[in-house]
Amino acid sequence: MAQEWADYLVDEICLSNSGFTLDGLRLGENISSRWSNGNFEECGNFTQLIWASSREIGVGRAIRISGSDIPVNSGLTQGPENAVCSAKTVVVCFYFPPGNVTTMFCENVPPPMYEAGICESVLEPERR
């Protein structure tokens, strides 16, 4: 399922969740570009990744190179001379059972760990 969704998304302009279900439950999923946007205030994708009760993961990857007729798996790393190429990679992860269930957060996501000295300036006084 993850590969099927990655193959679909690589040709789309906007990424979106699949809505796929397994055993009647909607799958938890992450699409990699959401991590690369630099917004570290929200951690929903990360908490799904470490969600304790999720036991299965499906991963799919699709690559599309525009402006080139070279197949992605050809072993060549560049297009024809003077060709203008752009590449898009989509990585999709599905998790089962799904995570990020608000009422189950405490038992599935461990508290943050801080290495002594590295984060002292940002820790609340009671955690120092």
Does residue 75 register a pLDDT over 80? no
Query: pLDDT at position 124, please?
Result: 54
Give 5-49 as a 3 state SS string: HHHHHCCCCCCCCCCCEECCEECEEEEHHHCCCCCCCCCHHHHHH
Inter-residue contact 65 to 87 (CB < 8 Å): yes
Nearest to 46, CA basis, from 117, 108, 126, 127: 108
pTM of the full predicted structure? 0.60
* Tokens read off for 72: 């992605």
Domain regions of the chain by residue span: 2-127
State the first-to-last Cα distance of the chain, in angstroms, to the nearest integer: 45
Helix or strand holding residue 51 (H, E): none
Does residue 82 register a pLDDT over 90? no
Query: pLDDT at position 107, please?
Result: 94
* Tokens read off for 70: 């070279």
Note the pLDDT tens digit of each residue in 8-64. 888 887 776 777 677 776 666 655 554 444 555 566 678 888 899 999 999 999 988
Pick one of 3.40.50, 2.60.40, 3.30.43, 3.40.33 as the CATH number of 2-127: 3.40.33
